[in-house]
Every structure is written in C-alpha cells, then in structure tokens.
Amino acid sequence: MFKKNAVAAGMAAFASVALTAGCAVADGSKGSDVDITAMSAEELAEHLIFETDSFRDQEMQEGGTWRDRMTQDELQKACSMEGDPDGETAGRVVAMARASYEAPESIELGDWRKGAELADSGYGYRQGHRTDDHSQREAGGNCYNCHVFDPRVSDQGTIGPSLQNYGANRGTSEAVLRYVHEVISNPHQYFPCTQMPRFNSDRHQLLSDEQISHIMAYLLDPESPVNNQ
Amino acid sequence: MFKKALLALPVAMAVGAAAQAGEWQDPNDVLQNLLQNNPDSAYLHQSEMNIMMMPDNPALWLIDEGEELFYAERGPNNVSLEGCDFGKGPGELEGAYVELPRYFEDTGKVMDFEMRLVHCMKELQGFTSDDPAVARRHGNGSDIMQLTTYIAHQSSGMAWNPPLDHPEEQAMRDAGEVLFFRRGGAMDFNCASCHGDSGKQIRASVLPEMRNGQEWTKAVSWPAHRAGHDNVRSQNHRIRGCVWQMRHAGIKADTPVNTALISFWNDAARGEPAVLPDLKR
C-alpha cells in the first residue's frame, strides 16, 4: 500500500528546495520537507498517520505499539471504501474471513447474566487522553452501541439489526450455535465489510472464548430476557 | 459584545449559489432554517431541549471573554492578536473561520484553525507550549476556547468554504477523505462506520450522516456548548473523542492528521451555513 521508497525519493528530491526556502525546521511549526503533493491521497494518509507524530506513543491493551494498532491488515484495507464492497471485494473478504476462522470443538452456552453485562459494557481498548486499564476492569463487547437486545433497556444503538427474541426465533440447534459463534468471532464471513468489529480473529482476540459463550447465552438461552419479550 | 455594525459591512461579495449564506446570521436563526428545511432529519431534531435553549446557548457567554483576550496586549511580547492572519489578512476575522484549513505562506503548510491560533500566540505573543494560555486546550475557562468561540462567531451563518486552490490544500483534503474511510484500530472502525447512514443511533445519540450537507454542517459546527459536558468544545475535541471511541491510537493536538480530517469534513459541509457557536447534546 504505502510505498516507503516513494517517500524516501520524495524527501531526497525536495530536501534541497526546502532548505533554500528555509522551511526545513524541526520544531513542527514550519512546513515539512516532504512534498505532500507528490503522493497519492492513500500514500499521504499513511504518511500523516505514521510519519508526523500525530499519535501518542502508548502501549496497546492487546499488546504492541500504536503503530501496530494503526497498521491495517488485509481485511481492513479491502474494506476501506465508501459504501458497499463490489462483488469481487466482497468475495475476497468472505474468503479471507473464512480462511482465518477456527471453529471450536464444541460450543456451549455460558451464563446469560454475565453475557448481558458484557454486551452492555463499552469499556476496553480505548487509548489516548484516557486509557482503559484492563487490569482494573474487564473489557466488554460494545454490542449495545449498535444493537437492541432488550427493548426494556434504554439507550441501545441501531447501527446493526435488532436482536430482540433472537434465540426465541432461532432455537439452539448446533447449526445456530455455530453460526452465532462465527458471526461474533468474524462477521465478515457472512457480512463482508460490515461495520461490526471482529471479536476473535487472526488480527486479535477482543473477547475470550468464555466471554463469547456468555454473550451467546444472552442471545440464545430461552431464560435470557432477550428471548422473553 | 459582538459588533453588529462591523457585520453589516459588505460581506455580500461572497456571491454564488450560497448567496444568502454569505452574510452573518445569528446562530439560532441558522439552526431554525436548518430545522425548517429538514423536518425529517432525526439528527437535527433529536433534542427539543437543546433547540429551546439555543437562544440562551451558554457558549455565547464566552464571546465577550474571547474578544477581550483577542485585543488585549498579552504574552512575553505584550502584543494583541490583531496581527494574526487567519487567511483574510491580519486581524480580519469576519468569515475567516469557515475558510479554514488553508495553506499559509509564512509556515509553508496547511493549518487548521486551532493550529493557526496557537501559532500566532507563540510567534506573535511569545507564549511557549508550556504556558497555560497555550497548553490548556479544553474547557470554558481556557483562553483557547474563549478565543475560538469569539473568532468562530464572526463567521456564523456563512457558508463553509475551505479553499482548495493550493495543491497542498487539495492534497490534505483528499488525504482526509481517505482517513475518513480508512478501517483500522482494534475494532476495525472507520468514521463511516458510525456516520455513513442518516438517523442511526449509538445508544441514545442520533448520528449525523457525512454526505447529508445540512446534517453535516451542524455536525462540524464547533465550537459548541456540549450539554453533557457542560463545557464549550472544539472541532479538535470532537475528533479526539471519536478517535478514542474508535479504538484507534490516541490522537495528539495540533497534528496533521487532525488538519486533514478537518480539511475533509469542512469541505463535506461546503456551501452550507455554519452554526457558530452551536449547542449539542
């Protein structure tokens, strides 16, 4: 994607111009010595992220540096367009997502009460002026930001479809369990370039298998308030 | 307070499609027009309470303080900010805010409003990064927010019109568009994950759609009093909040990623009247 060579060449070519113009000052208040107009918009975006000191140098909760977090994987690259992916991209993304998914040997439903808390919690993975400390509090799934689960709970998002009565309508067959596990782990297997995050993929594991089993219980357990509307 | 007489001066030069948007208008009048023109926008109509409070927007209280700060002789160099050029000439504030970011010859780069303000406070007044006047970026008590509110208010009702004539302005705007759609971070979000559709909600917040100009002009109209924070907030503060929610890395103030995003988002509101200052949830 971002061609390091192109930038290096750009820097060499424009260093002399910048020097004669007297604007190659390191305090950041002067223009940089890179000709940003020589880059494509994509190259410039990568340059701005990685070479202009725009982000805090912090360690990420999932491990690694801010650079690791900001570096796109193939799926993120493929989905960085406006609107829906074209047929070719969609097919490629589904294939990528399927290839990296590892099905667990067996899937069991956990505790829907714990699942309700996890689905509700927006804590976790935030970085910057305030940084979520996972040693103080477990990270949640953010599901409520985008989905209605239980309309009796106020303030639920509508970016994704309502999941009210999800289990009541579908049951708890092996096929349903497998499908829901697949969607929560990596929804791009079914919805290429969906807005929904991958919670357990080759990129990283945001929710543990146990946490996913609790959230699945919240969605599917006949006792869960989601299924008793 | 705000000098009406000054505003009556011929702003009418800003011709074109958005002719009537070229003149200064009270922020409440701008909002009322947006509401009337878009009776079905769930985003614009989401808070009856805020709409009612708009004539008494607490952000208006910062304007006087900002004006005093602007004309006061301050800093180690003991000069006012009248020498600061926001793109329309030294001390010319009318319409300046809606025509940023722009390329500045003296620094050789594209700068957004806050970056330019800080530049002037340092270069003209002699403040350093550690002086509270510059270091404190957020909150009603900060010089930066008081100055921002006063200066932005001089562009209320005028159409967003960030210049794109200089190749660097165009380059930053285009990179900002790429950044808007760039999926990344711990949760694969881009800005469009939440601002790609009209009327969608994150919890109780109805989200503005970027391609809907009349929603988007209100969305990018910062400074705004944020009722939930009980403080006036800036464009940079909004970006920091969204990037934080996105689980990208922590963004710093006065940085080119901010400038690029603002170049794009002000352009996405081009031609639509700014609500300055606004009132948000």
Q: What is the pLDDT of residues A180-216, one digit of tens each?
A: 999 999 999 999 999 999 999 999 899 999 999 999 9
Structure-block tokens of residue A190:
């079914």
Domain boundary assignment for chain A: 87-130+140-227
Q: Is A29 exposed, middle or buried (0-12, 13-18, 19+ CB in 10 A)?
A: middle
d(CA B59, CA B50): 12
d(CA B124, CA B238): 28
Domain boundary assignment for chain B: 24-280
Is B242 among the catalytic positions?
yes
Q: Which of A51, A127, A72 lies closest to B257 in space, CA to CA?
A: A51
Residue A2 confidence class, pLDDT cut points 50, 70, 90: very low
Parallel, antiparallel or unpaired: strands B224-226 and B278-280: parallel
Structure-block tokens of residue B21:
């948007």
Q: What is the pLDDT of residues B20-37, one digit of tens each?
A: 458 999 999 999 999 999
Cα angle A23, A27, A29 (rounded to 5 degrees) comes to: 65
B122 CA to centre of own chain: 21
Predicted local distance difference test score (pLDDT) of residue A176:
97
Q: Which amino acid is present at B99?
A: E
Contacts of residue B167 in chain A, CB cutoff 8 Å? 37
Q: Which of A45, A32, A56, A25 lies closest to A127 in space, CA to CA?
A: A56
Structure-block tokens of residue A141:
């799934």
Q: Give the DSSP letter of residue B250.
A: P
3-class state of residue A115 by DSSP: helix
Q: What is the pLDDT of residues B118-134, one digit of tens each?
A: 999 999 999 999 999 99
The residue count for chain A: 229
Predicted local distance difference test score (pLDDT) of residue A125:
96
* Cβ <8 Å between A198 and B188: yes
d(CA A66, CA A113): 34
d(CA B251, CA B30): 32
ipTM: 0.90
Residue A17 clears pLDDT 60, i.e. is over it: no
Q: Give the DSSP letter of residue A122.
A: -
Predicted local distance difference test score (pLDDT) of residue B6:
44
Is residue A156 less than 8 Å (CB to CB) from chain B? yes
d(CA A186, CA B19): 50
Residues near A164 by Cβ (< 8 Å), separated by ≥ 6?
Answer: A148, A149, A150, A151, A226, A229
Say if CB A114 and CB A221 are below 8 A apart: no
Residues near B12 by Cβ (< 8 Å), separated by ≥ 6?
Answer: B22, B23
Looking at every residue in chain B, the average pLDDT score rounds to: 92
Stretch (H or E) spanning B104: strand B102-104
Predicted local distance difference test score (pLDDT) of residue B38:
96
CA distance A208 to chain B (A): 15
CA distance A168 to chain B (A): 24
* Residue B181 CB neighbour total at 10 angstroms: 19
Structure-block tokens of residue B131:
């002086």
Quick one: average pLDDT of B66-72? 98
Structure-block tokens of residue A155:
């303030």
Residue B136 clears pLDDT 50, i.e. is over it: yes
Residue A27 clears pLDDT 50, i.e. is over it: no
Is residue A80 less than 8 Å (CB to CB) from chain B? yes
CB burial of B190-228 (b: ≥16 within 10 Å; e: otherwise) equals: bbbbbbbbbbbbbeebbbbbbebebbbbbbbbbbbbbbe
Q: Is the dihedral of CA A48, B142, B157, B87 positive or negative?
A: negative
Q: What is the pLDDT of residues A87-122, one digit of tens each?
A: 999 999 999 999 999 999 999 999 999 999 999 999
* Residue B259 CB neighbour total at 10 angstroms: 28
Is residue A70 less than 8 Å (CB to CB) from chain B? yes
Residue B202 confidence class, pLDDT cut points 50, 70, 90: confident
For A83, list phi and psi in degrees, rounded to 5.
80, -165
Q: What is the pLDDT of residues A40-52, one digit of tens each?
A: 999 999 999 999 9
Structure-block tokens of residue B167:
């190749």
Predicted local distance difference test score (pLDDT) of residue B8:
39
Is residue B168 less than 8 Å (CB to CB) from chain A? yes
Residue B263 clears pLDDT 50, i.e. is over it: yes
Give the CATH architecture of domain A87-130+140-227: Orthogonal Bundle (1.10)
Say if CB B177 and CB A41 are below 8 A apart: yes
Cα angle B61, B62, B66 (rounded to 5 degrees) comes to: 140
Give the CATH architecture of domain B24-280: Orthogonal Bundle (1.10)
Residues near B208 by Cβ (< 8 Å), separated by ≥ 6?
Answer: B43, B195, B198, B215, B216, B218, B219
Predicted local distance difference test score (pLDDT) of residue B199:
74
d(CA B121, CA B138): 16
Quick one: average pLDDT of B247-270? 97
Say if CB A121 and CB A215 are below 8 A apart: no
Contacts of residue A62 in chain B, CB cutoff 8 Å? 186
Residues of B numbered 67-106 whose beta carbons fall under 8 angstroms of chain A's beta carbons: which are they? none
Say if CB B47 and CB B54 are below 8 A apart: no
Residues near B163 by Cβ (< 8 Å), separated by ≥ 6?
Answer: B87, B99, B102, B103, B169
Of A48, A145, A197, the CB nearest to B188: A197
pTM (two decimals):
0.91
Predicted local distance difference test score (pLDDT) of residue B203:
76
Residue B18 confidence class, pLDDT cut points 50, 70, 90: very low
d(CA B132, CA B242): 25
Predicted local distance difference test score (pLDDT) of residue A31:
56
* Residue B164 CB neighbour total at 10 angstroms: 18
CA distance A106 to chain B (A): 26
Least confident of A17-21, A137-141, B139-143: A17-21
A206 or B3, greater pLDDT: A206
**For a pLDDT cut of 90, what percent of chain B falls above it?**
86
Q: What is the pLDDT of residues A120-163, one digit of tens each?
A: 999 999 999 999 999 999 999 999 999 999 888 777 888 999 99
Which residues lie across from B270 on neighbouring strands?
Answer: B160
